[in-house]
Amino acid sequence: MSSAPRPGTTGAPATAETETRPGRVPRTRAGMAWVAAGTAAVIAIALIIFVAQNTRSTEVTFLWMSNRE
């Protein structure tokens, strides 16, 4: 066995930080922030559509509670 590194490697020991699967983009804080911002935007748009479609008043009664005064 030879101690020379294989072609295409740096010779550094493999760690969790240096190991990546081919074709896979590593996770970064900025990337996670973009995913969170996109998810929040989709939820906000869905909430706006829900509120816009439900503009009529309705009476709600649950057990002893009612929206009547």
* pTM of full prediction above 0.75: no
State pLDDT tens for residues 13-41. 656 555 667 888 889 999 999 999 999 99
Cβ atoms 60, 67 nearer than 8 A:
yes
Residue 51 has, within 13 A of its CA and on its CB side, a CA count of 6
- Indicate whether 5 pLDDT > 70: no
State pLDDT tens for residues 53-62. 988 888 888 8
More confidently predicted of 52 and 19: 52
Cβ atoms 1, 7 nearer than 8 A:
no
The whole-number pLDDT of residue 42 equals 98
In the chain, where are the structural domains located? 27-51
